[in-house]
Structure 1
Amino acid sequence: MQFSGKPQVLRRVSQVPSVLAFSQTAPDANRFGESIRILLRWKGSVYKAIWKDLLVYYALYYLLTILHNFVLGDDGKKAFMVLAKYCLRNSNSINLMIMLSFFTSTALQRLFTVQTMIPGTAKVITFYVMSLKPNLPEGPIIVEQFARWTVIAWILTFRVVCKPLRTMFPNMISLQVAGIIREKERLILERVETEHNTTPRALVVIDWMILLLKETSIHNRFTEKSNHLKSLDVVMSFKKSCGNTIKFATKNIPYALIQAAIIVVYTYGLMTLMARNFDDADSAGFMTGIVNYFPIIPSLQFFVFLVWLNFGRIAVNPFGTDEDDIDVNLLLETHIQDSYRLANLYTQDLESVFGAMPQKQYNEAPSS
């Protein structure tokens, strides 16, 4: 397959490490110390996601402590103690479990739906290549055309939902410069937008693929007439996956739900900042005073709820820039390389790969 400007495309996406560098295997449960190793992991960890929030939390907590101990007068300290006792009594009245359970379950269900409908290009290209009659003079050309349009449709789908890919290809001209689309194709796709056509550009390219299937059938290039409808079914499944990806990724979880979860968690955090048990500190003395200066339990509860909230927020957008998000740039490199390999299957056979095969000698043997 010959993308024009093939080196430019691969050079831009080759900055992403290989698939093996990103491969993650599940930890072995029976290995001694594996749980400790997981807890101490920094990359992609919850600590890396929320350490700034916890830093601000402790800074505010000790700032309030200094304010009470060294800045406020007697009347101010009494008002501070009244507010602290009020927050202590009511800090557990906020039912965070129900709110966060609903939010994270909704986000995870949506994440699973998006991941299962991510379109792939290999099946579409392979089915078309294998459906054609062998040794057609124009075969390599139409195979290249079909495979390239398949990759273009995939790219245009994920430009809608993935910010990193939009940054790499901000407009149609950038796609032409990278050698992915040709000038005439760019003009047609740009015209779609100027004519205020609401059809996603990816679906326009898939329409081109359907027309190519029609032309292939008209010129009797399929090995069997039924291959036309079979190939059409595969392309329509690909189109549905592209359309669903755009629909689900752009129709996000309502901001009101995300805002409600954020407000509840941070409201709880603010209440635990003020919550202090001054009565027990006066009666129990030193140890309770230490507990008030080091809010282990309140901060641990806030830590757990904050982790839960951030996990849900990461699941809301699986195509972002977080370390646990789907690496669309890496997927792009994979699909481009797959399109080269699969398109080249049209002009290859086993003999060109392995040399003379035993089954060929058997097939050529004279029958008795």
Structure 2
Amino acid sequence: MTVSYTLKVAEARFGGFSGLLLRWRGSIYKLLYKEFLLFGALYAVLSITYRLLLTQEQRYVYAQVARYCNRSADLIPLSFVLGFYVTLVVNRWWSQYTSIPLPDQLMCVISASVHGVDQRGRLLRRTLIRYANLASVLVLRSVSTRVLKRFPTMEHVVDAGFMSQEERKKFESLKSDFNKYWVPCVWFTNLAAQARRDGRIRDDIALCLLLEELNKYRAKCSMLFHYDWISIPLVYTQVVTIAVYSFFALSLVGRQFVEPEAGAAKPQKLLKPGQEPAPALGDPDMYVPLTTLLQFFFYAGWLKVAEQIINPFGEDDDDFETNQLIDRNLQVSKHQDQESRAAPGPPLPVSSQPGRGKERRGGSL
């Protein structure tokens, strides 16, 4: 289920965001702790090897390699590469969310355009909206692992009430190597045209409005399918991943704390006559590389953000709740015909409608 914290930050107050840092579900800690522990363990192994197992001459060679790796790591434009990549992924993630088809607007047009309070009229409206929901289920079934687990076969779609057995046979008789989510939209247009011929739709303008809304709905289904089909170029993802892993592979060696005589000494100032040179000083010897661990947490966490949302139709904590969306659309569709045909109240008398009395007075002058 999507992790929502909007209510927790409804008001700007002291420590408002700090309380979110203690959450585990959907957090960066849950995504990154394995890589973080692995990086810390490898760093500790190299540190122990340098301090306890190497000879003095070997330490000197290691220090030369460490300085080289540290300089080389700074040559990787990690912030530049990650920044552009994550921006691209976030924009794609939001576009996929806005492409999820919702039948609300189409449902309102169906209720206003397809007339008839008899059983035939109700069945016609329900069938039209059912075809729309079927199209969304078919496309979500092809892009979402959660929906595919819920509807592994077309028989499960029939059992859920989105399709009849006769419709399933017609659907499966159409042989195609591509996704057939558009077939219910064709059924929708044929049924709408039949309703116009039967007088259930008053005029051609209402029919055009209905088909325009269907085309908008179908366009969202198509866009969602193409987002799943056409991914971010693999070379871009590979470049970013290699850049991050290479940076921290170099940091494992280059960020080790070496002894002053084995590492680089600070440059000496010019000595005055009779002044003794100061001993060579290096970085303080620290067993825990705090800044390096923080850098790993930020950069690797940045990459994990892109990994989390590059495909929001999976089963991660923050992926889209597609099954709940299907249930919501189905429930709204079942109630729309009953609620739309319920009169909201008696019509207002002519004298009480705004502006009508003034028109009568103006006409009598």
Kindly provide the CA deviation profile for residues 172-214 of structure 1, in whole angstroms up to 9, marking residues without a partner as x: 122123333221222222233xx2353x321111111111111
How much does 1:277 deviate? 4.1
Kindly provide the CA deviation profile for residues 248-294 of structure 1, in whole angstroms up to 9, marking residues without a partner as x: 22211112211111111011111111112425487558x8112xx21
Match of 1:307 among 301, 308, 318: 301
Gaps of 5+ in 2: 263-279, 351-365
Partner of 2:139: 157
Alignment of 1:74-113 (within 5 A): 74=56, 76-113=58-95
**Within the alignment, does 1:233 sit opposite 2:215 as a pair?**
no
Gaps of 5+ in 1: 1-15, 351-356, 364-368
Alignment of 1:1-368 (within 5 A): 22=4, 24-25=6-7, 27-28=9-10, 30-74=12-56, 76-192=58-174, 195-198=175-178, 200-275=179-254, 276-280=256-260, 283-284=280-281, 288-290=284-286, 293-345=287-339, 347-350=341-344, 357-359=345-347, 362=349
Q: TM-score under structure 1 normalisation?
A: 0.83
Pair 159,227 (structure 1): closer, same or farther in 2 beyond 3 Å: same
How much does 1:302 deviate? 1.8
Q: Distance in 2 between matches of 1:35 and 1:22?
A: 13
Structure 1 segments of 4+ aligned residues over 6 angstroms from their partners: none
Which is higher, the Rg of structure 1 or of structure 2? 2
In structure 2, give the amino acid aligned to 1:146. Answer: L
Q: Distance in 1 between matches of 2:16 and 2:163?
A: 48
Equivalent pair of 2:196/2:203 in contact (CA under 8 Å)? no
Kindly provide the CA deviation profile for residues 236-258 of structure 1, in whole angstroms up to 9, marking residues without a partner as x: 11111111111122211112211
Equivalent pair of 1:143/1:343 in contact (CA under 8 Å)? yes
Equivalent pair of 1:104/1:311 in contact (CA under 8 Å)? yes
Q: Distance in 1 between matches of 2:198 and 2:5?
A: 45
How much does 1:300 deviate? 1.4
Pair 322,125 (structure 1): closer, same or farther in 2 beyond 3 Å: same
* Larger CA deviation: 83-92 vs 262-271: 83-92
Pair 288,49 (structure 1): closer, same or farther in 2 beyond 3 Å: same
In structure 2, give the amino acid aligned to 1:278. Answer: V
In structure 2, give the amino acid aligned to 1:134. Answer: G
- Secondary structure of 2:6's counterpart equals coil
Kindly provide the CA deviation profile for residues 315-342 of structure 1, in whole angstroms up to 9, marking residues without a partner as x: 3112122222211111111111111111
Equivalent pair of 1:122/1:342 in contact (CA under 8 Å)? no
Q: Distance in 2 between matches of 1:298 and 1:329?
A: 42
Q: Distance in 2 between matches of 1:87 and 1:223?
A: 76
Equivalent pair of 1:318/1:326 in contact (CA under 8 Å)? yes
The two structures, once aligned, show a CA RMSD in angstroms of 2.6
- Secondary structure of 2:181's counterpart equals helix
Aligned residues between the structures? 334
Equivalent pair of 1:114/1:249 in contact (CA under 8 Å)? no
